[in-house]
Structure 1
Amino acid sequence: MAGTSAGIVAGLTAAAVGTVGFLAYQASATVPAGLGDKPRASASLLAKAPRDRRNPTALPAVSGSGERVVYSVDDDRVWLVGEHNQVVRTFKVKPGRVDPYPGAYVVTSRSHAVTGTDGVPVEHVVRFTSVDDVAIGFSAAVNPDLTPAPDPAVRTGGIRETRTDGQAMWMFGTIGVPVVVVR
């Protein structure tokens, strides 16, 4: 009887793995054109974006145009930019251990609430790329007071915001919204 149970479990496991693989293939096959592409990096994005020295929170001049999210890797700052290049909101963030490359991306997926790669429950996750199989995106810790110190051995791509800023990003950063990463 024990051999039969083990065989049934093995069969169910194989069927589950096959189903997950099929669903993953199906999901990747239905990604709209351009969403899964590598970033387009112009020479202006690869260099340190010029800043207004009198106003360090000013939008970097070489961050594109139109509605977009702008993220400065060097300044750990995000700008939510609406129509006519008007900054709707800007805020500081705490990056993960893996930075996105400078370039132009789009929001590719979102999750209301998940557990981050560091084991911390997060909400309002807005993803836009991956680097070496590490997902990169914005998120807010559900309970920042209980967040442990980062483990230097864990490669994380979560760019952490406050819960208030995370809510603003969630409302702004819908699927397909451009994300521009600058130095």
Structure 2
Amino acid sequence: MPAKSSTIVTALTVAALVAVGVLGYQASASAPDSLNEARKDSHHAPKDHRDHNDKKAKAPAPAPVPAASGTGRRIVYSLGAKRVWLVDAKGTALRTFAVTPSTVSPPTGSYAVGSRSVSVTGSDGIAIEHVVRFAAVNGVTVGFSAAVNGSRPAPDAGKKTGGIRESREDGKAMWDFALHGTKVVVVS
């Protein structure tokens, strides 16, 4: 290759690399804060919001898995505590979170995830995502879901709804954990 052609190719390569670098920088600088926070969190241990200079500050202990919820890998839903646990095969809670119950609750007992939907409109008319259904009570399908707008209002007591609402973050965790057939244990 002649020297002049080699110089042109090198210059074009350098220009292309600079352009890609600038575009990458602009994309990361204009990304939503939530995405940038997720990137930061993915490279570090979970955030501890306590003041490290305050030796007395302690994070609250996670709620223990209800004793009467069986064994093995399962989802535990406590009607009274309005809380869910995602439990691994060894009985360790991988995650626990508060939920907003529906107006129709399943009786205590053991169920299985019967169907899932990425996104639909809930029985209350709200757009929802990560829907994990596990029971039917008097013609009302009961399952976990997250409102796309992030809301978790108390359901209208005058309507029969089966949507047990969780935050979008918890809904994603539920979706990843609750494959078809996953055991769901409802306790009082």
Which TM bucket (shorter chain)?
Answer: 0.5 to 0.7
What letter matches 2:160 in structure 1? R
Which residue of the partner structure matches residue 30 of structure 2? none
Which residue of the partner structure matches residue 102 of structure 1? 108
Structure 1 segments of 4+ aligned residues over 3 angstroms from their partners: 147-150
Deviations 1:54-101 (A, max 9, x none): 967111111010100000001100000012111100000001100110
Which aligned pairs between 1:1-183 and structure 2 lie closer than 5 A? Answer: 57-145=63-151, 150-183=155-188
What letter matches 2:174 in structure 1? M
Query: How many residues were matched structurally?
Result: 129
Question: Structure 2: which 5+ residue stretches go unaligned?
Answer: 1-59
Q: Whole-Å Cα distance in 1 between the matches of residues 124 and 173 of structure 2?
A: 23
Q: Please report the TM-score for the alignment, with normalisation by the length of structure 1.
A: 0.67
Q: Whole-Å Cα distance in 1 between the matches of residues 137 and 155 of structure 2?
A: 19
Q: Whole-Å Cα distance in 1 between the matches of residues 170 and 178 of structure 2?
A: 12
Q: 1:107 to 1:149 in 2, by over 3 A?
A: closer
TM-aligned CA deviation for residue 128 of structure 1: 0.3
What percent identity do the matched residue pairs reach? Answer: 54
Question: Structure 1: which 5+ residue stretches go unaligned?
Answer: 1-53
Bigger relative contact order, structure 1 or 2, given CA contacts below 8 A and separation 6+? 1
* Structure of larger gyration radius: 2
How much is the aligned-residue C-alpha RMSD, in angstroms?
1.7
Q: Whole-Å Cα distance in 2 between the matches of residues 164 and 179 of structure 1?
A: 19
> Would you say the 8 A contact 2:65–2:93 is kept in 1?
yes
Deviations 1:104-136 (A, max 9, x none): 000000000000000000000000011000000
What letter matches 2:93 in structure 1? V
Q: Whole-Å Cα distance in 1 between the matches of residues 112 and 153 of structure 2?
A: 30
